[in-house]
Amino acid sequence: MPAVARLAAGDESYRIRIRNQSEGLVQISLDKGVNWSAAGRVKHPANARIVGFMASSYAPHGTVAATATHGIRIKTGQYSLGVGKAQKTMLFSIEPLQFASKPSGFGGHTSRSSGIYTDIYAGHSIFRNQSPYVGSPVYLEKQHRLAPLPEDYTPAVGDVFVIIVNRPGDQISSVEFQNKKQGSVVAKYANGKQETIACVIKPVLGIGRYDGTTYTGVGAVNTNHSGVLTISNAPVCEPAIQEGGTQETRGGFMIQPAFHAAQQGEQSPQVMIVGPASLASQTPQIEGTAPLFAGSINLTRYENSPQHSFRAEIRVDDGDWQAMPGIVGRFDDAFSPARLSSFLNRKITAGVTAIRLLFPEYDAALLANDLKQEASDYAKRVSGIRKITGTTSIRP
C-alpha cells in the first residue's frame, strides 16, 4: 500500500468504487484511484431506484443522502418539486451483508431491487471508517473517466459507481447540546473558535431500538442524513449476531432538525429536536446543512483510538463530561434521574443535562492501516470460496 500524506481540510481522503454486478468488487483508494484495496463484493446488483425517505429531499442530486452502519443511500432524482415530504425523492442503496433481508423490527428505508447488496459486514469498511459523508458526490465511471450521475438516473447492471470522500472544510472539535428546552447547541473548532448553531426545541429523555445500532458501538455515530443524527448506546455485537433476534441488541437516540421533525409529527422521548428558536418548525433551516446534517459527520470509530473517533459523551447533574452509558432496549425515561440512577448505580437528581459529540482528529496513517486490516480480514474470510459446477460456496 502506498505511503499516505497528511491531508489538509477539504482534500480528498479516499474514494469508493463499486461495480454493480454479481461478484463485482467494492474497492477503496487512498490516492485518488491510483491503487485500490478490495473491501468486499456485490452479491446482488441494483436494477431500479425507489421512492426515498422524507429527509432525502434536503440532499443534492447525485450525492450520498444517508450514511449508516446498516446502509448508504444515494439520491438520483425526484418525482415532484416541493419542500420536505412534498418532494418525492428517488434513491438507490448500498447494503451490508446482515441487511440483505431486513431484520425483525426494522423501521428504516427498504431498498428492494434498488439495493446493491454486498458481503461487507455492517459496521465495517464503507459502513465505518471508510464511510462517506452526507453530500459526498457520486459519479459514474466509464472508460476510466468520471461523470456526475445523470438527472433521473436508474442503476443498471454493470455500471461502476465512484464516491469521492473529502475531508470536511471546517475542523470542528465538538458540538455540545444543553439537554433542556431552549438550551444552546454550540460548535467548537480546533482553532479555539466557537459559535451557537441552534437551540434545543425539545430535549431527549429516552433510548430506543434503532436500526443498525447492534453493530455501531456505545457513543458512536450510527446514522447521519439530512434530517437525523443517531447515536448508539448499544455495545458492538459480532457480525454473526442477527439484529432483531430473540435477545435485544439495539439501543440509541436521535437528534432531528425542527422542520423535518414537525413534518413527521415527531414527539418520541428518544428524539432531541433542534433548530433556530425564532423559526422553529415553520420552514426548513438547518435540514441538510453542516455541521449536523451534511458534510461533517460520518461513522468513523477506532475501537482502540477514541481521539480519532466520533464519540458522544454526557453530563449528569451538570457535572464533568463522562462516557455515554451502554443501554440496550427501549426506555422512554433512560436519561431521567430515577432510571439513570439504576444504570449508573449512584444518586442522580437532574439526569442527563448535556450531550456532546466529539469529532475525530484526522490521521491518514491510521486510516491507511485500518483499510489494510479490513482488506486483509476480507481476503481471509473469502479465501475458502471455490467453484462447484457454476455456483459459489463459502466455507464457514
Cell of 112: 428492494
Residue with cell 460456496: 393
Indicate whether 96 and 245 sit together in one domain: no
Q: Is residue 264 part of a domain?
A: yes
Do 127 and 264 fall into the same domain? no
DSSP single-letter state for residue 308? G
Give the residue numbers spanning the domain of 123. 12-132+134-167
Across the range 13-27, mean pLDDT stands at 98
Q: Within a domain: residue 393? A: no
Question: Is residue 85 pLDDT above 70, yes or no?
Answer: no
pLDDT band at 104 (very low <50, low <70, confident <90, very high): confident
In a domain, 345, yes or no: yes
For residue 92, name the pLDDT band (cuts at 50, 70, 90): very high
The answer to whether residue 115 sits within a structural domain is: yes
Q: Is residue 293 part of a domain?
A: yes
Of 167, 189, 217, the one marking the end of a domain is 167
Examine the domain organization and report whether 327 and 240 are in the same domain.
yes
Residue 337: burial class (beta carbons within 10 Å; 0-12, 13-18, 19+): middle
Domain match, 159 and 176 both: no
Q: What is the pLDDT of residue 152?
A: 87
In tens, the pLDDT along 35-73 reads: 999 999 999 999 999 988 889 999 999 999 999 999 999
**What band does 395 get if pLDDT is binned at 50, 70 and 90?**
very low
- Please indicate, yes or no, whether residues 185 and 160 belong to a single structural domain of this protein: no
Query: What are the pLDDT digits (tens) for 353-394?
Result: 999 999 999 999 999 999 999 999 999 999 865 443 444 333
Q: 202 pairs with which residues across the strands?
A: 273
Let me know whether 239 and 185 are in one domain: yes
212 and 144 inside one domain: no
Find, among 260, 264, 274, 231, the residue nearest to 57 by Cα: 260
Residue where the block lists cell 446534517: 293
pLDDT digits (tens, 9 = 90+) for 127-147: 999 999 999 999 999 999 999
Of 203, 182, 175, residue with least CA distance to 280 = 182
pTM, 2 dp: 0.92
Q: Is the domain of 180 the same as that of 157?
A: no
Q: If you average pLDDT over residues 113-129, what whole number do you get?
A: 98
Q: What is the pLDDT of residues 224-263, one digit of tens each?
A: 999 999 999 999 999 999 999 999 999 999 999 999 999 8
Looking at the structure of the chain, the number of domains it has is 2
Residues 160 and 205 in one domain: no
Residues 271 and 158 in one domain: no
pLDDT of residue 79: 76
| Cβ-contact 109, 53 below 8 angstroms | yes
Contact 204, 255 (CB under 8 A): yes
Q: How many Cβ atoms are within 10 Å of 31's Cβ, its own excluded?
A: 16
Cell triple for 176: 455540545
Residue 389 lies in a domain: no
Do residues 37 and 153 both lie within one domain? yes
Using alpha carbons, select from 236, 288, 287, 247 the residue that is nearest to residue 70: 236
For residue range 257-311, what is the model confidence (pLDDT) as tens digits? 999 999 888 899 999 999 986 655 578 899 999 999 999 999 999 999 999 999 9
Give pLDDT, residue 5: 38
- Asked if residue 327 belongs to a domain, the reply is yes
Given a cut of 60, whether residue 210 has pLDDT beyond it is yes
Find the range with the poorest average confidence among 20-34, 170-184, 267-281. Answer: 267-281
pLDDT band at 163 (very low <50, low <70, confident <90, very high): very high
Let me know if residue 376 belongs to a domain: no
Peptide bond before residue 291 is cis, with ω within 30 degrees of 0: yes
Give the model's pLDDT for residue 101: 84
Q: Is residue 255 domain-shared with residue 114, that is, in the same domain? A: no
Q: Round the CA-based radius of gyration of the chain to a whole number and report it.
A: 20
